Structure 1
Amino acid sequence: MELAPTFLARADWHVAEAVELEALEGLLGQVWAEGCRPWPDIPLSPDAFLTFLARHTPSPSVGAGIPGLFAQLTPGDLYLACACAEGIPAALAAFERRYIAGIPATLAHMKLSEAMLDDVRQRVRERLLVRTDRPPRIAEYSGRSPLANWMRVVSVRTALSLLRTVREEDALGDEAILEFLPASVGNPETEAIQRRYQGEFRQAMEDAFAALPSKPRYLLRLHFVDRLSTTKIGALFNVNQSTASRWLQSAQQDVHDETRRLLKERLDLSSQEFTSVLRSVESELDLSLSRILTEA
């Protein structure tokens, strides 16, 4: 596609001279190539990227003209921000790995508790990535400075805001924690089976999770580690709550099915013995997955 006409159709300024139009086309081609290069697995369309770029590009100054139009731009960061604003799962996962996961290091000088850091991460995630009745705040990133710098400012401001409003740490009491644990079956035989095959069960579940595509893995982390509801996950991916719930259930079922398959393949047991093992761990699947993801 011709990039310059598409870009100008979305910008609030125009280029009249053919030579300037040609220069703009070359610059846009370079920006697009540099934007794509760090993120080969993120499928963002040129049209979406150009629309995002045009929204943040003022008309060229008299001195710099077309050649200086994108001089301070960081194309790779802008590409990722645009893809996140579009709700592309691979982009959201990449943003999580590169920026959300780095918030504790960014705020290390503030000496925040783990609970507070978790709260900051959650608030930054919701503030930047969740679409409400307006585009997510990540769409405000202009690409004129590194995304890491922009994220540092957002993280610090979020932490300071939280410190002003929270007077004491939110922590689960012992009774609340117990609500997350399954009731003990009180069956010595079942407990013996669980202890005997605990290592094999954990390894099978880790392998089953690793075999998932990136999107289901990300969904499970959001739900089990970050405790996002299906309503918030739906807003993050710009889908309704029922769709997010269906995605999550499908991802859980895939892990469960693959865990069972691997256990049956790896344990040299009779059908009756395997049924006993499976019954003993069936109720622990979701809790074990939560523990594995949290530790990871």
Structure 2
Amino acid sequence: MTRPALGLTARLREGLPPARAALLDDVEGLEPLLERHVAAAREAWPELTLEVSAFLRHIARHLPAENVPEVLRQLHASDLYLACACAAGEEAALRGFERRVLQRIPERIHSLPQDVVDEALQQLREQLLLGRGDTPAKISTYSGRGPLLAWVTISAARLAAGLANREGHVPFSEKPPETYVQLLTPGDPELELLRKDSRAIVADVLRKALAALPGTERALLRLHHLHGYNMTQLATVFGDSRSGIARRVLLARGRLLKLTRAELATRLQLDDTQLESFLGLIRSRLDLSLSHLML
């Protein structure tokens, strides 16, 4: 005999120990309230495939020991639904989180230096969306009691403020030119082939090329070259396939080199052979140089 489908209230109770489940008795009109929450979540995120039962278990995990009726009535259901799907690693959810939440953070903490904001966003992606071993992604701790955007903005502001105040932190755009070139070709005799007065130009070109990249491409290169993310991890963060994210990284690298070549051709007096030789040197050291330039 097929077991009849449980109502939303019954499924919510299943995710709670008996003592906590008893708190639901004080919630008037709980079934229609849960129906409204589920409907709002699905309307906001029709592309997500998160099962209702998983969503209800997520709600159950975050129910407090008191004031349950008020918490449930004021629940930001669509935000919690997105966070739950992100914690489950659903690709469409990760893309939605990037588009509707993370891309709106810079305008909310714009008083801080742009490079600090960018670095804070990279750390947020790592902290919120990637679990560590048996530890789930931090986004699973979002309870839905306030807007998700506000919750993430607070985390971003704290991270950015800490980075801005960190002793010895120097934005990559403010590092001395000599440091850029030395980091690009550490210990290489080819470094001596550059005229001393060209080194500042090379450093400035690299800075400008990085700054000119679209934000997502800059983020991809930072996470891959600076933080050591592999393609599987990047695919999880950006909600793409492994092959798709690999193509995006290659395109970002290609765009960076194209911008670098165009600027160098304009500013350095090199013939085509010299220019291509120098670009080959840059290309061969790209992983190392990016890991330093974007600190």
* TM-score normalised per structure 1: 0.58
Please list, as runs of the form range in 1=range in 2, the aligned pairs for 1:19-38 lying within 5 A after superposition.
23-38=29-44
**Once the 2 structures are TM-superposed, how far is the Cα of residue 230 of structure 1 from its aligned partner?**
6.9
1:10-21 matched pairs, under 5 angstroms? 10-12=15-17, 13-15=20-22
Q: Report the Cα distance in structure 2 between the residues aligned to 1:16 and 1:115, rounded to whole angstroms.
A: 47
Does residue 164 of the first structure (1) align with residue 175 of the second (2)? Answer: no
Question: CA–CA distance in 2 between the matches of 1:152 and 1:251?
Answer: 27
Contact kept, 8 Å, 1:87 with 1:236, in 2: the verdict is no
Q: Is the 8 A contact 1:10 1:55 kept in 2?
A: yes
Cα distance change, pair 20–106 in 1 and its aligned pair in 2 (3 A): closer
User: What's the counterpart of residue 127 of structure 1?
Assistant: 127
Q: Distance in 2 between matches of 1:248 and 1:60?
A: 45
Mapped contact 2:77–2:144 kept (Cα < 8 A)? yes
Q: Does 1:93 align with 2:99?
A: no
Rate the CA distance shift 1:233–1:26 in 2: closer, same or farther, 3 A.
farther
User: 1:21 Cα deviation (Å)?
Assistant: 9.1
2: CA distance, partners of 1:46 / 1:11? 16
Alignment of 1:256-295 (within 5 A): none
Q: Where in structure 2 are the equivalents of 1:48-197 lying within 5 Å?
A: 48-58=54-64, 61=67, 66=69, 68-109=70-111, 112-133=112-133, 134-171=135-172, 173-175=179-181
RMSD: 3.8
The alpha-carbon deviation at position 238 of structure 1 amounts to: 6.4
Is residue 4–residue 21 contact of structure 1 (8 Å, CA) maintained in 2?
no
User: Which residue of structure 2 lines up, in the alignment, with residue 184 of structure 1?
Assistant: none
Between 161-170 and 148-157, report the one with greater CA deviation: 161-170
> What percentage of aligned pairs have identical amino acids?
29
Q: 1:103 to 1:8 in 2, by over 3 A?
A: same
Whole-angstrom distance in 2 between the partners of 1:237 and 1:48: 23
CA shift, 1:174, in A, is 3.9
| Separation in structure 1 between the aligned mates of residue 39 and residue 50 of structure 2, nearest angstrom | 12
Gap change, CA 1:99 and 1:176, over 3 Å in 2? farther
Letter in 2 for 1:234: T
- 1:5 counterpart = 2:3: no
Q: Deviation string for 1:63-85 (max 9, x for gaps)?
A: xx75x451221111111111111
Give yes or no for contact 2:231–2:245 (8 Å, CA) kept in 1: no
Contact 1:131-1:236 within 8 A present in 2 as well: no
8 A contact 1:11–1:54 mirrored in 2: yes
Write the distance in 1 (CA, Å) between the matches of 2:38 and 2:76. Answer: 11
Report the alpha carbon displacement of residue 135 of structure 1 after superposing the two structures with TM: 1.0
CA distance in 2, matches of 1:141, 1:103: 17
What does residue range 240-251 of structure 1 map to in structure 2 within 5 Å? Answer: 248-249=245-246
CA contact (8 A) 2:106 2:117 kept: yes
Distance of aligned partners of 1:237 and 1:69 in 2 relative to their CA distance in 1, 3 Å threshold: same
Number of residue pairs matched? Answer: 209
Taking a change above 3 Å as real, the CA distance of residues 251 and 226 of structure 1, as seen in their structure-2 partners, is closer
CA 48–14 in structure 1, closer or farther in 2 if over 3 Å, else same: same
Could you tell me how far 1:50 is from its partner in structure 2?
A: 0.8
The code of the aligned residue for 2:38 comes to W
- 5+ residue gaps in structure 1? 180-217, 256-282, 288-296
Distance 2:45 2:146 in 1: 18
The residue type equivalent to 1:223 in the other structure is: L
Q: Which residue of 1 aligns with 2:200?
A: none
Q: Deviations over 1:187-209 (max 9, x none)?
A: xxxxxxxxxxxxxxxxxxxxxxx
